[in-house]
Structures are given as structure tokens and as C-alpha cells.
Amino acid sequence: MSEKFEYFAIRNAAGMFDSSPLYKYRISGSDAEKYLSGVLARDIRKCRPGRAQYTLWCDDRGFVVEDGVILRLSQDEFLLTSAEPNLAYFENLIGYDSVEIEEVTDDVATLAFQGPRSRTILSELAPEMTDIGYFHLVPSKLGGAPVTISRTGFTGDLGYEIWTNSEDALSVWDTVAEAGQSHGVIPFGQIALLMARIEAGLLLLNTDFESSRFAWNDDHRSTPIELGFGWMFRDLESESRRFIGRKAIQRELTEATSRWKLVGLVVDWKEYDHKYNAAGLVPPKDHTPVTEEFMVYTDDHTRVGYATSFMYSPVVQRHIAIARVRPEQSVIGTRVNLEVTINHRYELVGAHVARLPHFNPERKTA
């Protein structure tokens, strides 16, 4: 089945994706909140039981180690996801806190159910989840199996993630698939997911940023501010929470030392088409994401940044990118030039700085 067909299922109906390979850690104990408050960059104290947070963790120089979603299952129990293994890293930070960290990657399965019809379909199976808010979660049952349903996902659309014991995963998958059959629900794969996440401006580890733990030098490291996560740090003036990297992040904000600012780019389609036509080619409108660096220049050929994710968006009907540019070039509407390869030669195509996300439907949070 075409990944573009899968993509349109996400945007017009709903799609199912197996997120189970994500690493998952159960963090519990009387000091769990205290421990996480010192490890995670975002204030976990503001995440009440029955809610979730997108979060990240940094090194002591304020560079991002990794990101993930954390579910607060109860006052003293949390479930944290990550794209890469982090168990030893978190265990080394426990100190004298009364905290237990258990890797449950193989024990917990995750089904991402994403798209505008996802609420309608799940409500028929679990009426209690009908009104859960964005980044909230609720316990339920699907096909007789106990599950936790969270209003989270990686597509930038209305969507949910269903968490269950691994032994019940196939039963839960079949239950949702059967309920969605008459709505045009189909499974989708990695390419369709990557298409959706670029439109949504959602960052991908080892594509849009690298882990500080494994980067060769600071050119390959990023701060949360450079990645557009300044909104996480509105409480830095308070001394009540001293998380790893706090002083470096506060200094960066105070002294305005950020090297980059994360932005969206939208390519000028007329200029793009003209460049290809002049070269004797049909302008490609390929939806397949390209996750390599495209240099960004001003009109006088000064390099001012680079794009990390690029694609032709079926919903925006333009070539779009996630990029980082010098802060002075980050004003919405600023003209820049994106370097592309045409007939084995580098060519500059006009683009403008755009606000992320590129696609942000009201239904996502409504």
C-alpha cells in the first residue's frame, strides 16, 4: 500500500501505528516527583495525575540529551518514553532518592490511533474517553483488556495512544481495527508518520537534533531554546526547582546567546518550478521526507542556517522544511534561499520563514 495513501488516512479518517518499540520506563516511589523535577527540564510538578507532558532532559551545560512523553499515572507513578536507551543514564542520577526505575519496554505495548475520526471510533468502544483533554489520559478497557488511553501522538492531528500489556496488544489492535473498518481506518508505516510529523513541526532525534551524550562537538549539540522550547522555562526565576542544565539555560536566555532559532520554511513554488523548467526538468513534487541538511543563504549568498527535514506537503501544497537559522533571520516572512541540487549542480531557490507547525488543525486540541 502506498505511504501517501496511508498519510491521507491520517489526515482524513484515522490510521493505526505500532509505537511499541519506543523505550519505556516506569518511575515510581515516594520521591519520584522530586527526582523527576531535578532531572527533566520541564516542571513535572505541574503535571497532575491523569495527565501527560512532552518533556526533555539536558546535560549540565544546557544541551539537550533527549526528549520524550511522560504519563503521570498516579501521584507517585510515572511512565516515560524515549527513542533511545536511557535506563543507565537515569539510574545514575537517583542518588539518595526513594525512587525505583524499571524498564518496561517489552511489557507495555503502545498503539497510536491518529486522525480526525479517532475520537468518534474510540468513543464507541470506551465512552469514558470522549471528553479527555489534550495531553490527558484515562484508564479504560478495549476488548476486555485493561488499557490507558492518552490524547497524545506524533502526527500533529487529533489522535490518541493506547497503552496496554504486551500480551493484550493483538487483541486491542484487532478491536480498534474492526471498529474502524467502516471509517476507512488502515495501518500506516514510518514514511507516513514522518510526513505528518514534519507538517506538525515535531522534532526527530538524530535528524533535527542530536543527543548531547553522543555528539562529537558543540556544533552537533542544541539547547532547548535553539530548538524552540523556550516556553518550557517560564519559571526559571524561581529557586524552587534546580534541574540539570538550569543555570546554563537561564544564562542563555539572559545573555541572548542562542546560536540558532528553529523555524519553518516554505519554498516559493514559482521560483522552484522555474529553476527546474529552465534546466529541462519537470519540477518534482515528492512527498517522501528528505532528512539531510539543506543549506540556507541570504540573497548575497551568506550562509545563515540549514534545513534538517524537507518534503512536499500534500496538505500545504508546498515544499516545506524544518530549519534553524540565525536569530536575526528568524522573523516570520523573511526571505531566504534554500540550496537544492538540480542537474548535479547546487542551485538556490527562494523561500520564506514560516511559523511552526506548518499544519495545525483546531481539532488537534479541541
Task: Inform me whether the pLDDT recorded for 27 exceeds 70.
Answer: yes
pLDDT tens digits, 255-265? 999 999 999 99
This prediction has a pTM of 0.96
Question: Grid coordinates representing 346?
Answer: 547546487
Q: What is the pLDDT of residue 2?
A: 87
In the chain, % of residues over pLDDT 70: 99
Non-local (6+) Cβ contacts of 274 within 8 A are none
CA distance 366 to 363: 5
Closest listed residue to residue 297, CA positions, set 340, 342, 357, 354? 340
CA distance 38 to 308: 31
Q: What is the pLDDT of residue 1?
A: 56
Instruction: Please compute the mean of the pLDDT values over residues 152-166 and round it to a whole number.
Output: 98
Instruction: Please compute the mean of the pLDDT values over residues 40-68 and round it to a whole number.
Output: 97
Closest listed residue to residue 361, CA positions, set 3, 10, 61? 10
CA distance 294 to 319: 13
Non-local (6+) Cβ contacts of 228 within 8 A are 261, 262, 356
- Read out DSSP for 201-215? T---BTTTB--TTT-
Instruction: Please compute the mean of the pLDDT values over residues 113-123 and round it to a whole number.
Output: 98
- Taking the CA atoms of residue 194, residue 197, residue 198 and residue 199 in that order, the dihedral angle to the nearest 10 degrees is 130
Task: Inform me whether the pLDDT recorded for 72 exceeds 90.
Answer: yes
pLDDT tens digits, 181-206? 999 999 999 999 999 999 999 999 99
pLDDT tens digits, 84-111? 999 999 999 999 899 999 999 999 999 9
Question: Grid coordinates representing 117?
Answer: 475520526
pLDDT tens digits, 220-242? 999 999 999 999 998 777 667 88
Where do the domains of the chain lie, and which CATH numbers do they carry?
Answer: 3-199 (3.30.1360.120), 261-362 (2.40.30.110)
Average pLDDT in the chain: 96
Non-local (6+) Cβ contacts of 328 within 8 A are none
